[in-house]
Structure 1
Amino acid sequence: MEKTDTSNLPPLPDVQAWRAEQGLIGLDWVGMQGIALPLELAGRPLAAQIDASINLRGSQDGARGIHMSRLYAALDGLTQGELTPQRIATTLREFLHSQPAHSDRARLSINGELLLSRPALVSAQRGWKSYPLCIEAQLATAPRLTLKVGVPYSSTCPSSAALSRQAAQQQFLVDFDLESTSLDRQRVAEWLGVHGMPATPHSQRSWAWVTVELSCDEPILPVVELIERIEHALGTPVQTLVKRLDEQAFALANGHNLMFCEDAVRRLYGALRASCRYRACQVMVEHQESLHAHNAVAQLSWQEDDDVA
């Protein structure tokens, strides 16, 4: 394709910079949503969706709009290596430097799902697990940064477990009503293998959504550390590839780890409140009920230096 000589042509019109009819009216935010970018996080590829915006100040000679292409061009810096708080803060500053006459606030939202290889509970198996995340950053007088992750886990209802145990007790008494008080261990073991679970407690896949505020001076985004802290606190993260011994271990973990949504959110509070690296934290758990057609939820949050959550 032949190139056209533009050296003698007049400059292209810059309509965004023309004076707006209502230029006194500033805009809180203006920008773009859903920009696809290939990022790297925790040494893994992250197919991200980016929202980028700045404010537009109102003035007597206020511009009609912003140059969105300048924001898009600045986003390329996020793709040049591991995604870090410093890289994000630099991108926000470039947003403002690209249009200094009109803006003094910038924000950025990064959404994606991080795939991590996770080991089975007992066997040597491994599998890939997806963790949704959202990184939000704003820059006004100083940058602010939050990291939100979602962690799926299993929760077994304590009430349902107690009712199931009672049903097993009652069935045992019925089946051995006429027996002597001294029972043969083998007979009891055989009974347990066939009739020992007349009722089973209900469990459900559940989600923990944790949002922490970080310092932009952090060398890395502690996403893997945060996920592992959440999974350790809850005790029953969902599994990937399992063998029967892994499935049995998972059943045992659930049986020894009964929790309502209130219990789960308090566990996470205790585990995360003890960390000194988070300026603030919000925890929300969602138990997607198998008994009810609705979900059970609980939420807890705190700010740095708060005495009460």
Structure 2
Amino acid sequence: MYTEENTARLLPDVAVHAQPHLVGELDWVGMDGIEVPVRFDAGDGDVQRASARVGAFVNLRRPDKRGIHMSRLYLQVEQALSTQTLSTATLRDLLRGFLDSHKDLSDRACLSIRFEHLVRRPALRSANSGWRSYPVTIEASMIGEELLLEFGTEIVYSSTCPASAALSRQLIQDQFAKDFDAGKAVEHAAVLAWLGSEKGIVATPHAQRSVARLRVRPAEGAAFNLIDLIDVTEQALGTPVQTAVKREDEQAFALANGGNLMFCEDAARRIQKALDADKALSDFHIRVEHQESLHPHDAVAYASKGVEGGYAGKGCA
């Protein structure tokens, strides 16, 4: 007869028994896509709750053991992330708990957390504002007592092609030469009216929605400051996508695009320069993607801080 005292003893656990014909160490074993709420402060003191997907893993260094204790990982994730605000200390304690609960099996642990965070952004000119959703990824790993943290997000912006702008200006000059006789004086009012007509803008440069994907490693003691990272990057680019847009905001956006013509190489270097000056970051990886309107393939550039042993030279993934 089953009782509370003997149920656990009587339940079989086949995972502890090795299969003699299948032995070997495994790099990582665990679960991905765990659904759990997380509490996150983006740097403004407003702790938001979001729905996250979590991956929790440990290595299996015992070839004589068939599996790990997955339920232990799940319960620790659920308890820690649903009740505590995300921080370096929270992640360190959680990974240490993974290893403590697998002392006889594992000496490495890792964790990935993916969610969306809403940030209110002001309009360019009007008094309005709106919400932007920024994806957040946090990856943490522990080997012994060494903790490695990585924090990521994406910035969406507009990029206007400098080459296309130059070619468009040439066509506008050609049209001006056709419409105004070089041998006659040009009246200010006539030119002003011409500039405001469709003839005054016979060609327009192509622009496209673009994405900067950032992965950063916080410096020792630094917090996950999403809003600072967004602000620094968007200010460096000059043309982040907008939320609430009235006509005066759209005009200001057009002006910003005209004043920030950029190839993907320019965008990557702008962000690189801005992040390199941020002392809260020990390393960073940048991938900018200009989703071209001229052709079906994208223009892409990568950049990093260039520290030894960091992201530099790690490939183009």
Question: What TM-score range do you get, normalising by the shorter chain?
Answer: over 0.9
Q: 1:179-218, aligned counterparts within 5 Å?
A: 180=184, 182-194=185-197, 195-215=199-219, 217-218=221-222
1:29 aligned partner:
28
Say whether residues 1:275 and 2:278 are aligned partners: yes
User: Which residues of structure 1 form unaligned runs of 5+?
Assistant: none
- Consecutive unaligned residues of structure 2, counting only runs of 5 or more, are 313-317
Counterpart check, 1:123 vs 2:126: yes
* Alignment-derived partner of residue 52 in structure 2: 48
Shift of 1:21: 2.4
Alignment partner, residue 84 of structure 1: 87
Shift of 1:45: 2.4
Q: Which whole-Å deviations, capped at 9, do the CAs of 1:20-61 have from their partners, x for residues lacking one? A: 4257511110000111111122222222111111001124xx
**2:115 alignment partner in structure 1:** 112
* Distance (Å, rounded) in 1 between the aligned partners of 2:92 and 2:274: 28
Residue type at the aligned position of 1:128: W
Distance 1:198-1:68 versus aligned 2 partners, 3 A rule: same
Q: Report SS of the residue matched to 1:101.
A: coil
- CA shift for structure 1 position 297: 0.2
Deviation at 1:154, TM superposition (A): 0.3
**Structure-1 separation of matches of 2:89 and 2:220:** 6
SS of equivalent residue, structure 1 residue 71: helix
- Residues of 1 paired with 2:182 and 2:280: CA distance? 63
Which letter maps to 2:225? P
**8 Å contact kept, 2:84–2:90:** no
**CA shift for structure 1 position 78:** 1.7
Contact 2:61 2:105 in 1 (8 A): yes
The question of 1:289 aligning with 2:278 is answered no
* Alignment check: 8 A CA contact 2:219 2:279 kept: no
- Correspondence for 1:38: 37
TM-score by length of 2: 0.90
In structure 2, C-alpha distance between the alignment counterparts of 1:302 and 1:162, rounded to whole Å:
32
**Cα drift, residue 166 of structure 1:** 0.9
Secondary structure in structure 2 of the residue aligned to 1:279: strand
Between 1:225-234 and 1:34-43, the stretch displaced more is 34-43
Structure 1 distance, partners of 2:215, 2:182, is: 59
Deviation at residue 187 of structure 1 after TM alignment: 1.1
Pick from 145, 148, 167 the counterpart of residue 149 of structure 2. 145
Q: Deviations over 1:114-148 (max 9, x none)?
A: 21111100001111111122111110030100111
Q: Does residue 163 of the first structure (1) align with residue 167 of the second (2)?
A: yes
Aligned to 1:66: 68
CA distance in 2, matches of 1:92, 1:23: 28
- Whole-angstrom CA distance in 2 between matches of 1:240 and 1:128: 7
Change in Cα spacing, 1:247 to 1:99, as seen in structure 2 (3 Å) is same
- Does 170-179 or 5-14 show the bigger shift? 5-14
The one-character-per-residue Cα deviations of 1:73-105 (angstroms, maximum 9, x if unpaired) are 111202223211111111111111111110000
Structure 2 Cα separation of the partners of residues 276 and 40 of structure 1: 25
Aligned residues: 301
RMSD: 1.9
> In 2 relative to 1, CA 8–33 (structure 1 residues): closer, same or farther, beyond 3 Å?
closer
Classify 1:6/1:78 alpha carbon distance in 2 versus 1 (closer, same or farther; 3 Å).
Answer: closer
| More divergent stretch after superposition (24-33 vs 238-247) | 24-33
TM-score of the aligned structures, taking structure 1 as reference length? 0.92
SS of 1:196's partner is: helix
Show the 5 A alignment for 1:238-257: 238-257=241-260
CA–CA separation in structure 2 for the residues paired with 1:303 and 1:262? 16
